[in-house]
Structure formats: C-alpha cells, structure tokens
Chains A and B, each alone.
Chain A
Amino acid sequence: MDMRVSFRRIRTALAKEEFRRAVFVVAFLTPFLVTLIVIYGLPSLLCFLMSLTDMGLNFQFNWLTPPWYNYIKIIQCEDPYIPEVFYTTLLYVGATLLINSPFALVLGIFTTYNIRRENLSAVLRLLWFLPRMTPVVIYGLLWQWFADPYVGPLAKIGQIFGLRDVYWLLDKPYSQILMIVVNGYVGASWGMIIFSSSVKCIPLELFYAAKVDGASDWAVIKNIILPLLKWPMLFVTAWQTLSLLGSYVQILVIWDGHALTSGTEVWSLYSYDMAFRSYEFGYSAALAMVIVVVALGLIALYFKIFGFRRMLEPSRVEV
C-alpha cells in the first residue's frame, strides 16, 4: 500500500516535471515560432493566394478565372517582357555563380594555402570582405561613380581599349557585365571564407607527405585540396544559386528605373517593379511564387545529393 502511494507520488512528480519542462520549451520557442508564422508562413500563404487574383492598388481579392491565369500568362509569355527577364536572370545567376563559387574557390585556396604569411592573407581576405560589409546604397553609389561616363575611371580605362562613348550603366552588354561583376564582388567573399576554413580543416600530414614526395604546389592543389573540397564546393554552389535567384536590391539601387532598358531586369526585380511601380500585386505575387517553386525544386535536389546532415555542416572535410 505504502509502496503504491510512493510510486504514485513519484509518478505525479515526474508528470509535473514533464509538464514544467513542456511549459519551458513552449515559452522559449513561442517568440521564434510566432515570427516564423507571421513573417514567413503567413506571407507565403498570402502570396500564393494573391497570385490567383488580379489584385491592384485596391487590395481586393478578385479571383481570376481560371485561378492560375497569372501563371499561364507567365508560361505562355503573354507578358512580352518575360522572355527577356528570363534570359537576363539566367545570365545573371549563371555568370555570377562562376564568380561566387569557382572564383571564390580559387581565392579561398590562394589566400589560405599559397599565401602563407598569415597576416598578409588575413588583410587580403578582409579587403575582399569590404563589399559585403558596405551598406547597399553606398555600394551602389561607389559603382555609380566608378561607371560615371564623365568622371568615372571605367570610362577612362575603356577609352584606352578603344571603347568610346560607352555608357557602362545603360548600354548592353556592358551594363550586364557590370551587373555580374557588381554582384560577384559581394558574393565571392562568402564562398572564400567557407573554402578557406575548409582548407584549414585538412590535416597537415597530407601536405607534409606530398611535400616529402616532391609534389609541387599545383600538384598539391589538384590532387589533395580540390578532391577534398568537393562537398564545400557543392554546398556553396547550391546556397549561392538560391541567394542569387532572390537577390535584386543592388540592381534596384544602381539601375533605379532603367533596368529594363539596360538589360539588367532580373526576375526578382521584375516582380518588385510589377508590385511597387505598376501596382499589379496579383501578377507580381505569381512572379515571386515562380522563384519559390524553382528554389524548392533545387533544394529537394540538393537534399537528395547531400543528405540533410551534410547540408547543415558545410565545411566538414572528409578525409
């Protein structure tokens, strides 16, 4: 009898403790979950619903018939700008990715393995970090000066190479080259840091062994570092593809209002312009949803390639 009572007591005490623990977890997670729902969940749902309407400045949900009309408009290119925006986005993501991933890989290896004076390579990496640290409006101002047709250095350097009367910000394809470079500078440092820390994770014995065998620096990079950096490389490429698909603020700041004519109107920016310059909120929501669908497809693919754990541990090097 007594035993049973004390068991019950223990059980209720345990249940109480369990309850207390649950309350604690809920209390600690609530602010986070509320923001997730209000800032991420609700807008995603809203955006999807808006994409089925022709919402304008009146903010009314006027359902379209068929509901997916906006998507048909995009896929069948009823909007005459779609092909050009699509092409610009492809060019932008593809070319900038080359800077953000393979070039960042070269930077990461060079500043970590080849330049062995730690102070010097730290300074160089810091300088590469400048564009990322700079507020976007100032970064835009710097490039606007740099590409200024009258006082900017770019026009002067261009003249040396015979490019006269080129307006780097407005004339295709120069404006597009600029768009890629401007965003490449911002993205390169991120990959560089990941690759640099990955190189640092490689056990030094491997390098010693290679050196003892008389391997050159190039051979070490080709046969030791590159194969080991396969996963970080895939991770950076995957992550940067997603970032680039959604990025547009730099272009908005620099090409304010001239993006369509100078061939720098990427998909996200087009969606922004449709919403906040043409006030076609329904259509712009559909344009934004297209990015979500593409990005989710890519993520599903990445999860399949990486597995979940790998995706979250970007710089682990497997030796």
Chain B
Amino acid sequence: MSKVSTYREAVVKAKVRSIVGTLIVYGVVCVPLVPLLLMYGWLIVQAFSGRPVEWLLPNQPTLGNWYFLTKPIEFGGTPLFPVSFWRLVLNTLMLALGTAGLVVVIASLAGYAISRFDFKGRDPLLRSVVILHSIPGVLFLIALMYLLNSLGIYGKGLLTMISVIIIKAGIESPMYTWMLKGFFDSVPWELEWAALVDGCSRFKAWRSVVMPLIFPGIAAVSVFAFLSGWEEFILVYTYITDERYFTLSVALDRLIGAFRFINYGVLAAFGLFYLIPAIIFFILTQKYLTTLRIIAYKG
C-alpha cells in the first residue's frame, strides 16, 4: 500500500516538475515576444485606421492613410518632399539594386580567388575581415565626409547618390566575400580541373563551371545586399542633402518628425509599404533564414 502511494507521489511529482519546466521554457521564449507582436500588429491595424489605435482594436477603418501613393504628402499646407512618392521608391530601388550588383561582382570575384589560390597575404587578408569589425561605423561617416567634401561630391544629388552606393557596397563586401568563399569552398576541385584539362581558360572555368554551381550563394548574397541597401538609413541621412534623392528610410524619418503625436495613420501606412520587400523575403526564405549564419554588423 505504502509502496503504491510513494510510487504515485513520485509520478505526480515528476508530472508537476515537467509541467513547471514546460511553463518556464515557453514563458522565457514567448513572453518577451508579446511586445513585439503587439508592435507589428499595431503597424498593420493602424495603417488602415483613421484614428489612433490603442492596443490592437481598429479605430475607424479607412484607406485614407494611403493617400500618399497618389498625392503629395503635405504638412501645414506645404508638400514635405519636392518629388512624388514613387520617385522616393525609385531612389530606394536604385540604392538597393546598385548595392546588390556591386557586392555580387566584388564578392564573387574575390571569394573565388581567396577560396582557390594560395598567394602571399592570403592569411592577413582573412584575418583582416575580423579586424575590420573593430572599426565603428561612425568612423567611416566622419572620414568619408571629408573625402566627399574635398572631392566636391558632397551635396551634389545624383553624384552623391552614386558615391553612397559605392560606399555602402564597399562596407558590406568583406562580409559577403567571406560568405561566398564558403560556397566556393564547397565546390569540388575536380570539376575545374576537368574544365581546365579540356582546354577551358581559368576565367571560363570560373564563369561557366563554378558560378552556376554556387547560384544559391549568389542568390542569398544578392537578396541580403538588396535588403541592406533598401534599409540603409545613416549614409543617406548624413550625406544626401538634395531632397530629390531622398530614399524611403530618410523620408519616413522626416515624416515621423512631422506627424508623430498627430497622425500615426500615415506613418504606419508609409512604414508598412516600406516593409514590403522585407516581408516578401521573410515569407519566401523563412526555412533557410534561421539556419543561415549571417555575420552581423547590427548590434
């Protein structure tokens, strides 16, 4: 009898312990997610609400917040930007595509050379990628400000935009070179040997044999670089003074300055539009996203 009861006690204890354990696990992982979900939920609800949304209850459903798609955004009777919304989108696309294109060219060339050839200075080059991480972002901004200014590129509209693209791509490329080197490493040597023995030039072997094989890597790098260009804020905010070349991020920042406390609806709608590429990417790549290891320069 007593044996049965102690056995029962032990079973109950074990059950209680496992329930408490599960609660702790889910509590730690899920509870901090609540504010996040609240915020993203708010962004969606507020974008379609005419009045400030508290918690997540829609308040006067409307499409009125999206007027910026067709009409200029006005603040106190004067338009906030000298160009239409779609021009801002175009500028942002230019920055994103330019960054992605440059990064892919630089990283696929250098990644291959570093992966395949043993040359003097290869080790220091590898080492430098880690050491570069010690340079804070603000250092580039300060020094490049001097450089742009002395070259007469600062505040020049398109010319400044092009230099922002080059700077952005330059800052990003070591990280992506590193990433692509990993992909090149995974392609077996024999394939290139076969191509070389058959009379391919090295360049042709790279272009027609190796590159198609690491297409997934190229795709990943282009998408990451595109998004990072699309999201770029501080370079545009600091260097681009010509409002015709503003991107969505800087435009949104200015909108927040003007409409905060007054009209969250426009801010949310604008923000939601700006978020679209990230959302598409998020949905398409959710499987790979959390398994890919991305060297992060964010905090």
A and B together in one complex:
yes
Interface residues of A (CB under 8 A from B): 20-21, 24-25, 27-29, 31-33, 35-36, 38-40, 42-44, 46-47, 50, 55, 59, 96, 100, 106-107, 110-111, 114-115, 122, 124-138, 140-146, 148, 150-151, 153, 156, 183, 185-187, 190, 193-194, 196-197, 216-218, 239-240, 242-250, 252-253, 256, 268-269, 271-272, 275-276, 281, 284-285, 288-289, 291-292, 295-296, 298-299, 308, 311-312, 314-315
Instruction: Let me know if B149 is at the binding interface, CB within 8 A.
Output: yes
Q: Assess the A194–B110 pair: CB atoms within 8 A.
A: no
CA A134 – CA B291 in complex, angstroms?
18
State which of A46, A148, A269, A311 has its C-beta within 8 Å of the C-beta of B146.
A46
CA A311 – CA B123 in complex, angstroms?
14
The secondary structure that dominates the A interface is: helix
* Contact A151 B234, CB 8 Å, known A138-B252, A193-B293: no
State which of B231, B281, B296 has its C-beta within 8 Å of the C-beta of A243.
B296
Instruction: Let me know if B3 is at the binding interface, CB within 8 A.
Output: no
CA A216 – CA B18 in complex, angstroms?
9
Which residue of chain B has the shortest Cβ distance to A37 in the bound complex?
Answer: B170
Q: Assess the A42–B143 pair: CB atoms within 8 A.
A: yes
Instruction: Let me know if B128 is at the binding interface, CB within 8 A.
Output: yes
* Contact A32 B110, CB 8 Å, known A24-B203, A115-B29, A135-B230: yes
* Stretch from B71-79, B134-142, B185-193, B211-219 that touches the partner: B134-142
Q: Assess the B110–A31 pair: CB atoms within 8 A.
A: yes
State which of A128, A194, A295 has its C-beta within 8 Å of the C-beta of B136.
A295
A268 contacts which chain B residues (CB < 8 A)? 136-138
Instruction: Let me know if B173 is at the binding interface, CB within 8 A.
Output: yes
CA A39 – CA B166 in complex, angstroms?
9
Q: Assess the A43–B299 pair: CB atoms within 8 A.
A: no
Interface residues of B (CB under 8 A from A): 17, 21, 25-26, 28-30, 32-33, 35-40, 42-43, 46, 52-55, 105-107, 109-110, 112-114, 117, 119, 126-128, 130-147, 149-150, 166-167, 169-171, 173-174, 177, 202-203, 227, 230-231, 233-234, 238, 249-250, 252-253, 256-257, 260-261, 264, 267-268, 271, 274-275, 278, 281-282, 286-287, 289-291, 293-294, 296-299
Q: Assess the B134–A295 pair: CB atoms within 8 A.
A: yes
Q: List 26 A-B contacts (CB under 8 A).
A: A21-B202, A25-B113, A25-B119, A36-B128, A42-B147, A43-B143, A44-B135, A44-B139, A122-B286, A122-B290, A127-B33, A129-B289, A130-B40, A133-B227, A137-B253, A141-B43, A190-B294, A190-B296, A247-B299, A275-B142, A285-B139, A288-B138, A291-B136, A291-B138, A292-B139, A299-B134
State which of B29, B261, B299 has its C-beta within 8 Å of the C-beta of A107.
B29
* Contact A55 B146, CB 8 Å, known A29-B113, A275-B141, A311-B130: yes
Which residue of chain B has the shortest Cβ distance to A272 in the bound complex?
Answer: B138
Q: Assess the A292–B136 pair: CB atoms within 8 A.
A: yes
State which of A114, A132, A314 has its C-beta within 8 Å of the C-beta of B298.
A132
A110 contacts which chain B residues (CB < 8 A)? 25, 28-29
State which of A31, A284, A296, A299 has its C-beta within 8 Å of the C-beta of B142.
A284
Q: Assess the B109–A115 pair: CB atoms within 8 A.
A: no
* Contact A126 B109, CB 8 Å, known A115-B29, A243-B299, A299-B130: no
The secondary structure that dominates the B interface is: helix
Closest CB in chain B relative to A14 CB, distance in Å:
15
A33 contacts which chain B residues (CB < 8 A)? 110
Q: Assess the B138–A43 pair: CB atoms within 8 A.
A: no
Q: Assess the A43–B144 pair: CB atoms within 8 A.
A: yes
A248 contacts which chain B residues (CB < 8 A)? 137-138
Known: A40-B174, A43-B142, A138-B43. 15 other contacts (CB 8 A): A32-B107, A35-B170, A36-B174, A122-B286, A126-B289, A135-B230, A137-B249, A137-B256, A138-B252, A142-B42, A145-B46, A193-B291, A243-B298, A247-B137, A289-B139
Which residue of chain A has the shortest Cβ distance to B169 in the bound complex?
Answer: A35
Q: Assess the B55–A153 pair: CB atoms within 8 A.
A: yes
Closest CB in chain A relative to B155 CB, distance in Å:
13
